[in-house]
Amino acid sequence: MSASAAEAKRAFRGPASACLSLEVIIVPLALLVMDKVEGGLTPAKIAWVVVLTVGMIVAIATFSRPWGLPLALGLQVLMLLGWIVSPSLGVLGVVFCLTWLGMLWMRHEVLKRHARWADQGG
């Protein structure tokens, strides 16, 4: 991997950490919606939100590790599975999964263009 491709991969850490930071703020706010709209909080709903929030904080802190991206994506899967516990959490899961898909697509495009540029001798 060229130095420029490594830099492009490292550059993804900022937007990914920013997205996870937004999730750390928004996911606990879902508890308010669950309480008012879904008829109250249950221990399962609270536990799911706490596990997701703590997991996202850990993912932010460890995103530079090789397993940081898989951890962040695994948390998005847990958000989607949150639909089982709460439709509100499921809707957030869909929104953030689409956000992550967009970011991963952009990352792929940047890496592909860096590789093409390196092959041309740039």
pLDDT in tens, 70-109: 999 999 999 999 999 999 999 999 999 999 999 999 989 9
Closest C-alpha to 56, from 89, 17, 90? 17
CA 34 – CA 65 distance, rounded (Å): 34
Residue 2 pLDDT greater than 80, yes or no = no
CA 104 – CA 1 distance, rounded (Å): 19
Could you tell me the residue range of the domain that residue 27 belongs to? 3-119
pLDDT in tens, 42-74: 999 999 999 999 999 999 999 889 898 999 999
Amino acid, res. 108: H
Entry pTM: 0.86
Number of domains present in the structure of the chain: 1
What tokens were used for 46? 């609270």
Residue 38 pLDDT greater than 70, yes or no = yes
Which residue, chain included where needed, has tokens 């995103």?
A: 63
- Read off the pLDDT of each residue in 5-25 and give the average, rounded to a whole number: 86
- In this prediction, residue 122 carries a pLDDT of 58
CA 60 – CA 115 distance, rounded (Å): 27
Residue 1 pLDDT greater than 60, yes or no = no
pLDDT band at 4 (very low <50, low <70, confident <90, very high): low
CA 117 – CA 1 distance, rounded (Å): 13
- In this prediction, residue 5 carries a pLDDT of 63
